[in-house]
Structure 1
């Protein structure tokens, strides 16, 4: 029997029927996964943490991204720096994944020792002609936007990170997000491909049926609905939504809070992102079960609680910032069928647990939502690997952003010669 010739990565994505899902091989094949990591996680800007991960000088956060590893440090000058986690001697890892506090970065193999600014301070037995200035740690291009630490592992980092920075910096300014602390962290390994994790996040078609906690405060209409054949009750609810949305947007803008949607998502984007100040249901204050603030000490010097939800998407993250707390989530692919989903709940740096906030109240919406999404991603990944799977049609009303992500994914592969 002749060997079956597998379609290449590029052939698979170019063969996607417009308005339909991706072929199953794009979610399950190891060669596709390896290319995805190389292109989308090593050559694009990705979110890898928040400033509160390294709150004090000497604090370190180590993150693995495929075969690469980086060290995020806050140095003695209170500057956040990012280094490749590779000793300049024989390549040993300097730090294991996770957080720690150090005075210096010391290689556990031969004790080459580096300052937090990356310079090599000590290397024993190397002789008089050894020049330590040529053996500093390798820097990683880093951009901090609000509290978000973005890095690009490629020396030719996409320049349109400046567009994201210019858009989000004024939106985050009133919140003083660098003056925050992590109240809670959650790590989930989802048994599904990273693209399915992002696709699931890009639509709310599924929200009403699967996210009762989230939809207590979140209005899925913000991300599309089918206006056809609506009942009188649904039409009335839609009218109420439109009136409230317009009223909130006007009120926010009058108080100087930027609200309109900005999208940089299509094929001409490199650093893909979307942002908008979203209306919150009920009391309109926060993404909690009672829609009121979970932390009574608001961010920065804010006095107004009903500031909606400043959301931000990138191709590996999603963020929700309310007046009282923020939820920042980013993903790291671990394998064709494994994705790490890491979420951090931020509150004002001076907020006191059990005085200003209760962790359970603060986290119950997104802890539940993340676990529900984990299940949805996993059953979808399993289904895409079934021989019976054929890509289905997207809803043009509720899954337009999923289709947009598929187009962008194809364009970026093509730009890198895949």
Structure 2
């Protein structure tokens, strides 16, 4: 749609002001193109985004690209082994430099006029320039990049939030035992989800994996998240008793390994929001195989026993992770339009694990491939619902407090700078 032909901008400040806690957002937050543009600018343009893992770019010259709205980023390991991030825009006449999602290069060469850059972004070839041309002034524009225990994050703006180091100091003690830098990608898949990115995030933050919605995961997870003992029905009582036994086993395993035990829930209390928690699994307590059976015989890092539950990390605004004793599953979600998102799922195993011997890639990925398909259908139904003129915001349940915290973070971050939100929306809607 031509930006000048858009409908009159919505009054986002009024929408925010009248939103009571505990209710879902009004429809324009999930459908309006100007609010989507505002989300790109104020959420995805001003916060740290999970991009990739170090395991995806293990050697010098290895790269991945990531597209976020109008932005494209190159994440590359340079000749010295450091990780760099660059805007994927040639400094000559603006052509996109790398088009593949991943690959390996000796140098980064623009396909249009062959301007050539080292992997650290330095310009080393620009044909037919005058003697006064300063090569050093025309390197690829850098993107802020940080690593944390093998996970790589980028920031698209000029002033990244200054709390990344504080967050990393908390989380690295949880993640270090899994030694993600010594893993490899067993499989990676992308799926387009026909829903606004906030609906995708809400669906993930719900975390009620029950037999009706996710029967494959139900064999591993206990369906008691968010419940206190007083909330347990007679039907759930046997499951809850089994959960208590599994929780005691996990606590003993963590104590023996010197593993952190505290849950850290800081979804809406900091700029770089996160939530890390450690859950026991049902059955064998190990992984996402049938009845929580292991899926890879080679364990990660220093995790010394298979039955080590699921370490779950949720990261605002675009990622969530599951770390098991035998593999890790990483999810990266990015907006692709007001009503469309792209979910990338990456499965990591130990670097020395041998496909077909230590793990079967089909079995390794089965439960989450099925779950992603189920979630894709659920998100499409949710998007269809919020586009219905009859839609009104509804109340979150008592066990959906993570969704409320997630949305509260989102609303707070939209208004955090004190800038006029309504004027910004009007500007985007006018295409200025």
Shorter-chain TM-score: which interval?
A: over 0.9
Contact 1:52 1:180 in 2 (8 A): yes
What is the alpha-carbon distance in structure 2 between the residues aligned to residue 221 and residue 14 of structure 1?
34
What is the alpha-carbon distance in structure 1 between the residues aligned to residue 245 and residue 284 of structure 2?
16
What is the alpha-carbon distance in structure 1 between the residues aligned to residue 290 and residue 301 of structure 2?
24
Shift of 1:147: 2.2
What is the alpha-carbon distance in structure 2 between the residues aligned to residue 300 and residue 123 of structure 1?
45
Contact 1:187 1:340 in 2 (8 A): yes
Secondary structure of residue in 2 paired with 1:371: helix
What is the alpha-carbon distance in structure 2 between the residues aligned to residue 131 and residue 24 of structure 1?
51
Q: Provide the residue aligned with 1:380 in structure 2.
A: 382
Is it true that 1:329 corresponds to 2:331 in the alignment? yes
Is it true that 1:359 corresponds to 2:368 in the alignment? no
User: Any idea what the Cα deviations from partners look like across 1:253-306, whole Å, max 9, x if unmatched?
Assistant: 23211132101112x411110001211111011122231211111112433111
Contact 1:62 1:99 in 2 (8 A): yes
What is the alpha-carbon distance in structure 1 between the residues aligned to residue 14 and residue 366 of structure 2?
43
Contact 2:109 2:115 in 1 (8 A): yes
User: Any idea what the Cα deviations from partners look like across 1:108-130, whole Å, max 9, x if unmatched?
Assistant: 12211101111111111112111
Secondary structure of residue in 2 paired with 1:33: helix
Q: Provide the residue aligned with 2:291 in structure 1.
A: 290
What is the alpha-carbon distance in structure 1 between the residues aligned to residue 62 and residue 409 of structure 2?
36
What is the alpha-carbon distance in structure 1 between the residues aligned to residue 416 and residue 233 of structure 2?
46
Shift of 1:102: 0.9
Secondary structure of residue in 2 paired with 1:310: strand
Pick aligned residue for 2:345 from 332, 343, 346:
343
What is the alpha-carbon distance in structure 2 between the residues aligned to residue 413 and residue 108 of structure 1?
38
1:17–1:6 distance in 2 versus 1, CA, 3 Å: farther
Shift of 1:244: 2.9
Q: Provide the residue aligned with 1:129 in structure 2.
A: 132
Contact 2:246 2:281 in 1 (8 A): no
Bigger drift between 320-329 and 211-220 goes to 211-220
User: Any idea what the Cα deviations from partners look like across 1:26-65, whole Å, max 9, x if unmatched?
Assistant: 1001001111111111110011111122122111111111
Pick aligned residue for 1:77 from 56, 66, 80:
80
What is the alpha-carbon distance in structure 2 between the residues aligned to residue 144 and residue 8 of structure 1?
38
Shift of 1:7: 3.4
Q: Provide the residue aligned with 2:110 in structure 1.
A: 107
Shift of 1:237: 3.0
What is the alpha-carbon distance in structure 1 between the residues aligned to residue 230 and residue 386 of structure 2?
30
Q: CA RMSD in A?
A: 1.7
Contact 1:10 1:413 in 2 (8 A): no
What is the alpha-carbon distance in structure 2 between the residues aligned to residue 96 and residue 74 of structure 1?
17
What is the alpha-carbon distance in structure 2 between the residues aligned to residue 106 and residue 255 of structure 1?
48
Pick aligned residue for 1:167 from 163, 167, 170:
170
Shift of 1:372: 0.6
1:126–1:384 distance in 2 versus 1, CA, 3 Å: same
What is the alpha-carbon distance in structure 1 between the residues aligned to residue 109 and residue 117 of structure 2?
6
Shift of 1:77: 1.3
Bigger drift between 276-285 and 294-303 goes to 294-303
Contact 2:74 2:86 in 1 (8 A): yes
Is it true that 1:264 corresponds to 2:276 in the alignment? no
Secondary structure of residue in 2 paired with 1:211: coil
TM-score of the pair, normalised by structure 2: 0.91
Contact 1:13 1:23 in 2 (8 A): no
Bigger drift between 100-109 and 324-333 goes to 100-109
Q: Provide the residue aligned with 2:224 in structure 1.
A: 221
How many residues are treated as equivalent by the alignment?
A: 412
Q: Provide the residue aligned with 2:179 in structure 1.
A: 176
Secondary structure of residue in 2 paired with 1:409: helix
User: Any idea what the Cα deviations from partners look like across 1:357-399, whole Å, max 9, x if unmatched?
Assistant: 0011111111111111111111001001101111111112x11
Is it true that 1:63 corresponds to 2:62 in the alignment? no
1:238–1:194 distance in 2 versus 1, CA, 3 Å: same
Is it true that 1:311 corresponds to 2:312 in the alignment? yes
Extract unaligned runs of 5+ from structure 2: 1-6, 422-432
Q: Provide the residue aligned with 1:275 in structure 2.
A: 276
Q: Provide the residue aligned with 1:415 in structure 2.
A: 416
Contact 2:191 2:343 in 1 (8 A): yes
Contact 2:10 2:28 in 1 (8 A): no
Alignment of 1:178-193 (within 5 A): 178-193=181-196
Pick aligned residue for 1:238 from 216, 237, 240:
240
User: Any idea what the Cα deviations from partners look like across 1:215-245, whole Å, max 9, x if unmatched?
Assistant: 11122323x1376674434234324323431
Secondary structure of residue in 2 paired with 1:183: strand
Q: Provide the residue aligned with 1:153 in structure 2.
A: 156
